[in-house]
A and B are shown apart, each in its own frame.
Chain A
Amino acid sequence: MLPEFDLVMPENLQQALENLGQRNPGVVPVAGGTNLTVDMRSRRHTPATLVNIEHIQELTGILQEDDRIEIGSCVTIAEILKSPIIAAVAPALIEAARGFANPLIRNRATIGGNLADASPAADTAPSLLVHNAQVELWSKKNRRILPLDEFFVGVRKTVLQPDEIIKSVHVPKTNRPSASSFYKLGLRKADAISVASVAVYLEKKNGACGQVRIAMGSVAPKPLRAYAAEELLTGKHLSLKLIEEAAKLAAEASSPISDIRGSAEYRRRMVFVLTRRLLTHLAEMMELKDW
């Protein structure tokens, strides 16, 4: 049973921000509600007031700008899945959406809710991290744009203030030849919290590896980048040996825990396996393979 709460239905963003602006921790936004209702039923959260933001126009839709796309925070995973704009700019995010929950949840779950919830297993995070995404945060008084990497603080903790919401997620575009991919390892093929996940973004430059970014989910208190592995690869020709070394560095950068879904040891090993697999796959795809 859900605890009792008040529901506010603001008509526009301004009204929503007004409501949240009371800085009352008992007032929280709700988008798809797929995390919040679960948390409320288990009494992990017992907010007094929910501000429903899901239909607010300023928070929906995917905007094309010259240098980036802006995904409204209330865009659902189902919308991401069928967006040609996102497919062109951030293919890894499409793959993340494909393995996300189940069709019913995907129809409700939003990208903003996924990031704000900040689960270490949030499936959109690794892909957005490797695409250098930024979050645009609005409150009644303030607006700011942050790299996603600085947004997460720890297990289900972010820099979001109680009066602040995610307005949109920015994903930069590039003219350089690039590709990205994401792999989620779960205990089953659908409706599973990931045991470990990895996203990789790769650019091609002068026949070698240009910028490369690697991010991992479910293997640390927050989704995180594998900077050392990225550095090792940048500017290099990609041999299998080099890829393997990078995968090792990624695994070393992870700090998984053991829980009912998997041991820390297995998770770390999977970071290695998945990183190697994705790098190999992208190198082949981009004709960067040096083996």
Chain B
Amino acid sequence: MSYVGESAIRIDAVAKVKGEALYPGDFNLLGQTYMKILFANRPHAIVHSIDTRLAESIPGVIAILTAKDVPVNEYGLIMPDQPVLCGPGSNKPYADRVRFIGDQVAVVIAETEEIAAKARDAIVVDYEDLPVVTNVHEAIRPDAFKIHPDRDSNVFGHYRIRKGNIEEGFRRADVIIEGDYSTPVQEHAYLQPEAGLGYIDEQGRVTVVVAGQWTHEDQHQIAHSLNLPVEQIRVIYPAIGGAFGGREDMSVQIVLALAAWKLHQLGINRPVKIIWSREESFIGHHKRHPYFIHTRWGATKEGKVVAAEVELIGDGGAYAYTSTKVLGNATLMCTGPYEIPNVKVDSYAVYTTTIPNGAFRGFGGPQGAFAAESQMNKLAEALNMDPVDFRLKNLLQEGSLLSVGTPLPKGVTIREVVEACAESAGWRFTNGKWSKAVPPQNFERYQHLKRGIGFACSFKNVGFSFGAPEQCMAKIELYGQAEIERAVLYHSGAEVGQGAHTAFVQMAAEALDVPLERIHLVASDTAYTENSGSASASRMTFMAGNAIRGAAQLALEKWAAEERPAVGLFQYRPPRTTPYDPETGKSEPNFAYGYVAEAAEVEVDIETGEVRLVNLICADDVGKAVNPQQVQGQIEGAVVQAAGYALMENFVQKDGEVLTRGLSTYLIPTVLDIPEQVKSIILEYPDPIGPFGARGMGEMPYLPLVPAVTAAIHDAVGIWFDDFPLTSERVCNELKRLKLSA
């Protein structure tokens, strides 16, 4: 019996469909109190004083905490540059400032949510405004106002790649394309706004029930800020209503733990509950980075790309979050899945006083891919070549060197993926060339509707990159006598809605050769499960699968040795990766990749500027589809999310304020806006080190969509768009400017 490769029914399906699954906001404990957070609501200021007297006098207020109450007033996933609470009396330098509107200034704990809100509004804060620095090009200048005065400049991340000789490369080029691209902010807009419950458990552990992506990292960050041993913190993830990278960094975790702990110290042993409104969620958690990319590529008339020079600036917002890691990825992805002999890349992560930017599906890949694929499409046009044919002359192959001077890990299949997608989208290989056999159909009757087809492809790393420590743990206990009656799998991997837990169970069943119903999963509770790293970087199935296989093997060995229960605990460590060399960028960036190609057909209404996605074909090499239905779900979900990014989602910030503070002004696609047809082509070329051959795939379908759509728009109306979202008005104005519309 084979359990891997089956579209098994998700183990969480019934509870979720029946509304019985419990999300963080659904947990209640007897005697619980309610918390509200006072957000700065101004982009940049020194907090001179916080007067809580009036607020404290409101009946029902239990405690109000400010910076002086935080044992170690700093946190951060990559570097601890953010105060838990901003204000005077802090034990960290410059923690008396707010740097974006969502910085947290005080927390109020009260008998009811209403009282907490009232008390929050009664807190009087004396601010001294500081310069608002929202333009990344200004922030990067040496004389710019320093947002973190303890640092030399607002630039907090920088990478260089130097491969070959860039001048020589351009000398060899017959055509050179130069472009300035920019990509917008995007909000995760997950269904479940941040929420949680904090309490002291029966063993005295400060416990939080929240939604996150990495229980053990949350645990560490809480322990650091509370100055408590890690073992005294417990993090539990119940059902999670979406994440997409938006829960990689802390939101309510630390303040909930702080509140429960401080109450406990005051002798008040009552749980603390918080639920953010959508507006609080919008200003309270990070967004996708806007990137500004200046780039110049050259190719020979035979169709070989010979030089690529790129400068990337990523707007990090107020704090680092994962900006440097995102930048690392973008730096690698900005030259695409192509073998280019001469490459020069300089990239920068820069602080501004806007909402921090951080992890979001694709993690720098979409920004890099937009520039790279747009350049490829423009070069193809300039060379009068078919965009698929041109790509195939340049794709990375087994053994070819990346921009960082090393080959990809074995199992390079970008060519197979590109060909499968192109074929399905109507390209044919004839007379030694690929060309579009079926041009898009326009309608005689509707002169204002123009159709076009565009193509793009990408590669996406699986797992943490550039030398970041990478590992995943799993434990399996086998119970029974003659046969295995029950297998218990302990795993921390976060089920953020992607179906990870079902995949875990399937892989455990396969590795143990035990029916699915006999696998019992204990998940995501640091009191019982070991560190498995985050549900991010398309890594969870890959890493968890390898850990589960290892644990299964150990447990089966003990089972054979008649141990009852037979227990296997295994830590999987993938091949080592290395960081960028500071001068040349030389590195072994990743241990595995997935490969993807997309063809988009669009219809442009040249009078209104409306762009409709008619047809989308997405070919993905996933190595092995552990659960094909879930793979299809990831492809369709990624495509829809990227379609929102391309055409609609418009997060408007002005002088550090947010003008789109909810889902009535920040619009995401509805079911009527998504591509009418999404064809998922699932290819299974096994990854040599993937579990059962699987590669990670949750992000990659997102990457090529925007450049495929802009290429399709170009095919339809002859305009290149180098920034987006392509709202109707934007498209209409451009058509009008170029006099292409009636």
Contacts and interface: CB of A to CB of B under 8 A. Distances in A.
Given A190-B670, A190-B671, A190-B673, A185 B608 contact: yes
B652 A185 contact: no
A187 B659 contact: no
B672 A190 contact: yes
A188 B673 contact: yes
Contacts, number: 45
B608 A192 contact: no
A193 B732 CA distance: 19
B729 A189 contact: no
Interface string B655-688: 0000110001101011111000000000000000
Interface in B582-609: 607-608
B168 interface: no
Contacts of B114: 1
Contacts of A1: 113-114
B660 A260 contact: yes
A268 to B, nearest CB: 12
B733 interface: yes
Interface string B697-741: 000000000000000000000000000000111001100100000
Contact of B659 (A260, A270, A274): A260
Interface-central residue, A1, A185, A270, A273, by most chain B CB under 10 Å = A273
Contacts of B113: 1
A103 B728 CA distance: 24
B399 to A, nearest CB: 46
A234 to B, nearest CB: 25
Interface string A247-291: 000000000000010110010011001100100000000000000
A11 interface: no
Contacts of A269: 732, 736
B332 interface: no
Given A1-B114, A188-B667, A270-B608, A262 B729 contact: yes
A273 B735 CA distance: 14
Given A192-B667, A277-B607, A187 B733 contact: no
B670 A266 contact: no
Contact of B669 (A188, A195, A260, A274): A188
A262 B448 CA distance: 21
B508 interface: no
B395 interface: no
Contacts of B239: none
Interface string B630-651: 0000000000000000001000
A188 B729 contact: no
A102 interface: yes
B339 to A, nearest CB: 40
B608 A191 contact: no
Contacts of B664: 193
Contact of B608 (A260, A263, A273): A273
A187 B670 contact: no
A188 B607 CA distance: 16
Interface in A223-266: 260, 262-263, 266
A193 B667 CA distance: 11
B670 A188 contact: yes
A263 B729 CA distance: 8
A239 to B, nearest CB: 16
Given A1-B114, A260-B652, A260-B660, A189 B670 contact: yes
A260 B665 contact: yes
A188 B672 contact: yes
A277 B608 CA distance: 11
Contact of B648 (A188, A260, A266): A188
Nearest to A269: B732
Contacts of A277: 448, 607
A102 B659 contact: no
A193 B664 CA distance: 9
A269 B659 CA distance: 25
A133 B659 CA distance: 37
Most A C-beta atoms less than 10 A away, residue of B448, B652, B727: B727
Given A260-B660, A270-B608, A273-B608, A187 B671 contact: no
Given A102-B670, A260-B665, A273-B607, 20 more contacts: A185-B610, A187-B667, A187-B727, A187-B728, A188-B648, A188-B667, A188-B669, A188-B670, A189-B672, A189-B673, A190-B670, A190-B673, A191-B670, A262-B729, A263-B729, A266-B732, A266-B733, A269-B736, A273-B608, A277-B607
19 contacts: A185-B608, A187-B667, A188-B648, A188-B669, A188-B672, A188-B673, A190-B670, A190-B671, A190-B672, A190-B673, A192-B667, A193-B664, A195-B729, A260-B660, A260-B665, A266-B729, A266-B732, A273-B608, A277-B448
Interface of A: 1, 102, 185, 187-193, 195, 260, 262-263, 266, 269-270, 273-274, 277
The 7 closest A-B pairs by CB, nearest first: A189-B672, A190-B670, A266-B729, A273-B607, A190-B672, A188-B673, A189-B673
